[in-house]
Amino acid sequence: MVRRILTTQLLLALVILTAQPALSMEPPTRLPAVDRLAAMADWHGDLDAARHSLRLAGAIDEHDHWIGGDLVVVQTGDQLDRGDQERAILDLIQKLRVEATEAGGALHVLCGNHEIMNAQGDFRYVTDGGWQDFADIPYVLDEELAAYPEEQRGRVAAFRPGGPYATMLAEQPVALIIGRDLFVHGGLRPSHVEYGFDRVNRETRAWLLGQGTEPAIFEEKGSPIWARDYSDAPDQDDCTNLASVLEALDCDRMFVGHTIQDEGIAPWCSNQVWCLDTGASAHYGGSVQIVEITPGGVTVR
């Protein structure tokens, strides 16, 4: 019976993985403005938090099907770690991306530091359930996998560059511009703009697909997935740098996650940055909030 259940789970995963040709795997960099956009942040392995966020946005129904029509949703990273339901979240994302596109909308999910950490082999925040959830991922034993206990090898195989779930993550850009709004997990510094906005996405995708080396920018302590310049009580220098980045990229606002805002979603730097991480996952016990972005402005819900 256990073998039958695992086989069924594996077949479902393979169906989800092979159902994607209708969608381009090239992460977008800049997209045109839309009339309705909802943005949300860190889920950290909490499927209920993910569902709550998406339902609050009017994106899905009680059966997890897309009902948002032409709504565009952006989730700014950190689907992984700290919770036991990461695989269910990633599989839900893949399903909803297809349904949203068919309905004329879109679901854009970014890579945060925890997605990149798993691809790097940094599993320090994986729960026991997080190891078990990927235990049925098939692999061919090699030197790298042999260094891990047997119960951990499925997850390592899933997320190392070229693995099935790393390939899923390759569809997720590090940063994305929609209209004049910039979305990134940690934040973009002037040095990141100099490095190359398109280059970050391009190099990350190639690496996750197993077709390139890890982007050099991830060696920085304050890389786009780790920076807290604009989300941890930014000072005037931080706000000046933010304004410089927005001007260089022809944007009006930046939306970030990564740093929990104790009082809920908060704008800083004269509303030029909106910090979306409210600690919504069960690990942190915060509240679920999103922002709705329309031509009329930004509304917290």
Asked whether the beta carbons of 230 and 276 are under 8 A apart, the reply is no
C-alpha 294/C-alpha 297 separation (Å) is 5
Tell which residue, 84, 81, 106, 103, has the closest CA to residue 93: 106
Domain boundaries, the chain: 2-300
pLDDT score of 137 more than 90: yes
% of residues, the chain, pLDDT over 70: 91
State the fold for domain 2-300: Purple Acid Phosphatase; chain A, domain 2 (3.60.21)
C-alpha 264/C-alpha 246 separation (Å) is 24
| For residues 204-222, average pLDDT | 96
pLDDT score of 289 more than 80: yes
C-alpha 131/C-alpha 137 separation (Å) is 11
The DSSP output letter for 291 is: E
Burial class (CB in 10 A: 0-12, 13-18, 19+), 1: exposed
| For residues 83-105, average pLDDT | 98
Residue 27: pLDDT band by 50, 70, 90 thresholds?
low
How far is Cα of residue 254 from the mean position of the Cα atoms in its chain? 16
How far is Cα of residue 159 from the mean position of the Cα atoms in its chain? 14
Q: Which of 52, 114, 185, 192 is catalytic?
A: 114
Tokens found for residue 36: 């309705």
Residue 149: pLDDT band by 50, 70, 90 thresholds?
very high
> What's the pLDDT at 21?
36
| For residues 30-49, average pLDDT | 97
Report the mean per-residue pLDDT for the chain. 92
% of residues, the chain, pLDDT over 90: 89
pLDDT score of 15 more than 70: no
> What's the pLDDT at 7?
41
pLDDT score of 18 more than 90: no
- What are the tens digits of pLDDT across the range 49-88? 999 999 999 999 999 999 999 999 999 999 999 999 999 9
- What are the tens digits of pLDDT across the range 164-210? 999 999 999 999 999 999 999 999 999 999 999 899 999 999 999 99
> What's the pLDDT at 219?
92
- What are the tens digits of pLDDT across the range 125-134? 999 999 999 9
| For residues 295-301, average pLDDT | 96
- What are the tens digits of pLDDT across the range 1-12? 434 334 434 444
C-alpha 188/C-alpha 248 separation (Å) is 11
Q: Is residue 185 annotated as a catalytic residue, yes or no? A: no
> What's the pLDDT at 249?
98
**First and final C-alpha spacing in the chain:** 44
Alpha-carbon separation of residue 81 from 171, 206, 232, 234, 296 (angstroms): 19, 23, 22, 27, 36
> What's the pLDDT at 28?
74
